[in-house]
Structure 1
Amino acid sequence: MLTLEAFTEDDIDVLIDWVPSAEFNHLWGGSRFTFPLDAKQIVAHLQTEEVTALMLYHGNQRVGYIELFRESETTYRLCRVLIGEAAGRGMGYGKKMVELAIEHARKQFDANRVNLTVFEHNHHARRCYESLGFVIDKRTSVFHAANGEIWQALYMSKAI
């Protein structure tokens, strides 16, 4: 059974272990975090009032991380969506985690809209979001990634 629970300090080292490289860090966290990820950055980020950090559990095992960022009283942005271990990817955990986060936003915060940003070349994530009814609102012109490549970012949203 998959459940979404509040992220705690006990989860910090697990999250750090899930981010193995600068490129992965940028794909997951954008420009918010520098590599190597460390507890100081995470703790400072979680002190942001608008951030609600959640951990996905399969039974007692941590399998994913996601954030809800309050943009307004009724709109939340899904951020830093991550299925931790590579072996857990492609098993439907990401889709279920996003569904649970949307439900959390709706029930806990009375949200009626969620949005997100995904890099265009992240095809697996993009397909997951599209399968859940997210639509592309706009594209950014360019985004400079950690390794100097230019990445296109897509802004997607969904009424809930």
Structure 2
Amino acid sequence: MTLRAFEEKDDDLLIGWIDSEQLNYLWGGPKFDFPLDTNQIRQHCSQPQVHPFVFDVEGKAAGYVELYKESDTHFRICRVFVSNVFRGQGIAKTMLSQLIKLAKAEFKVRLLSLAVFEHNQVAKHCYESLGFVQTSREMGTRSFEGEIWALLLMEKQL
């Protein structure tokens, strides 16, 4: 199981995985329009503060995750996704464990933060199992099809 840099050739992975408007919003928030396309991905990934990765399992792409540089010592984990084929196998926890080690070793990160929709309990429990703690709850900043989605902010000191 390997975390590797996301490349242009991987765009079609994301486009294939993010196959509904709701999943697009759950994964990318208001940042991306559905359907996801190469232009949006390239524009996003070309930003210097965005560090995108693919998680490979036995030579097959199983997930996607980003580190987003907030400051020299603070990065955010963004856009965590595990392919349907690999869900329910603990892949997210393994992928995130490797990302945390990489953040500390390569970027000298001291604080990792993330945001997760409150109703995404599987993701929330995964983050908690990795030592993230909830620092606040935002209500009214995100909605999908008229339904307000509460956003939980979480942090982990490294």
Name the TM-score class by shorter chain.
over 0.9
Which letter does structure 2 place at the counterpart of 1:21? S
Show the counterpart of 1:3.
2
- The answer to whether the Cα contact below 8 Å between 2:134 and 2:155 also exists between their aligned partners in 1 is yes
- Is 1:116 matched with 2:109? no
Match of 1:141 in 2: 139
The number of residues matched between the two structures is 158
What displacement does 1:4 show? 0.1
- Mind listing any 5+ residue stretches in structure 2 that lack a counterpart? none
How far apart are residue 145 of structure 1 and its match? 2.5
**How far apart are the structure 2 equivalents of 1:143 and 1:94?**
26
Residues 26 and 145, structure 1, Cα contact 8 Å, conserved in 2: no
Unaligned runs of 5+ in 1: none
* Structure 1 runs of 4+ with >6 Å offset: none
| CA contact 1:136–1:155 (8 Å) conserved in 2 | yes
Paired residues of 2:62 and 2:85 also in contact (CA < 8 A):
no
Match of 1:34 in 2: 33
Give the partner amino acid of 1:102. I
Give 1:23's aligned amino acid: Q
2:95 maps to which residue? 97
1:73 aligns with 2:63: no
Cα shift at 1:143: 3.2
Cα RMSD of the aligned pairs, angstroms, is 0.8
* 3-state secondary structure, aligned to 2:30: coil
- State the distance in 1 between where 2:154 and 2:112 align: 9
Q: C-alpha deviations, 1:87-139, integer Å up to 9, x for none? A: 31110000011111111111110001101000000010000000111000000
Matched residue of 1:30: which SS?
Answer: helix
Say which of 83, 104, 107 aligns to 1:106: 104
Residue 64 (structure 1) shift:
0.2
User: Shift of the alpha carbon at 1:83?
Assistant: 0.2
Are the equivalent residues in 2 in contact too, given 1:69–1:78 (CA < 8 A)?
yes
Percent identity of equivalent pairs: 42
| 1:72 match: secondary structure | coil
SS in 1 for 2:143: coil
Q: How far is the alpha carbon of 1:81 from its aligned partner?
A: 0.1
Structure 2: which amino acid aligns with 1:90? G
Instruction: Determine helix, strand or coil for the equivalent of 1:142.
Output: coil
Deviation at 1:144, TM superposition (A): 3.3
Decide whether the 8 Å contact of 1:5 with 1:57 is kept in 2: yes
CA distance in structure 2 between the partners assigned to 1:12 and 1:111 by the alignment:
27
Q: Is the Cα–Cα contact under 8 Å of residues 119 and 154 in structure 1 kept in the other structure?
A: yes
Q: CA deviation at 1:146?
A: 3.0
TM-aligned CA deviation for residue 148 of structure 1:
1.7
Aligned to 1:23: 22
